[in-house]
Homo-oligomer: A and B are copies of this chain.
Amino acid sequence: MPAGLTAAETRQMQPNVNRAECPSRLVLEHVTSRWGVLVLAALLERSYRFSELRRQIGGVSEKMLAQTLQALERDGFVRRDAKPVIPPRVDYSLTPMGHEVAEQVWTLTRWVEGRLDDVFEAREAYDGARAS
């Protein structure tokens, strides 16, 4: 953030700078994004080829998968292995650092899944209180 400017002023000059205000948030968004979580989870088991991964995850468009993989590769979480053969073959796998985040995100995911019942219960209580 440039010196001599308030956060509000900076934000006005450059909309959506909030995302960039905290660099770690961008990285966090990559790994916790809709498809990022699923990609990391899949790669935690083994390496995948592009469309293999696409089928495995299910419901993800080419565009989003490519975008997600590029972000994760650029951040150093995913390794891209392009074999110069015809037809092209590209393998995606986790880097050591990627393996670390993947496990953390996976742990968090598992925790959430394990607490789903409690969450649903809380929701019913919340919605019930509102209905009256």
Chain B residues near A27 (CB, 8 Å)?
Answer: 112, 116, 119
Interface class of chain A by DSSP: helix
A115: Cβ under 8 A from any B Cβ? yes
Q: How far is the CB of A125 from chain B (nearest CB, A)?
A: 8
Decide: B119 and A75 in contact? CB cutoff 8 A.
Answer: yes
- Give the size category of A's interface with B: 35 or more
Contact of A116 among B21, B23, B121 (CB under 8 A): B23
Query: What is the copy number of this chain in the assembly?
Result: 2
Decide: B115 and A97 in contact? CB cutoff 8 A.
Answer: yes
By a beta-carbon cutoff of 8 Å, the part of chain A in contact with chain B is 7, 11, 18-19, 21, 23-25, 27-29, 31-32, 34, 37, 58-60, 73-76, 97, 100-101, 104-105, 107-109, 111-113, 115-116, 118-119, 121-123, 125-127
| 10 A/B residue pairs, CB under 8 Å, sorted by A | A18-B34, A18-B60, A25-B34, A28-B109, A73-B126, A74-B122, A74-B126, A76-B118, A100-B111, A108-B108
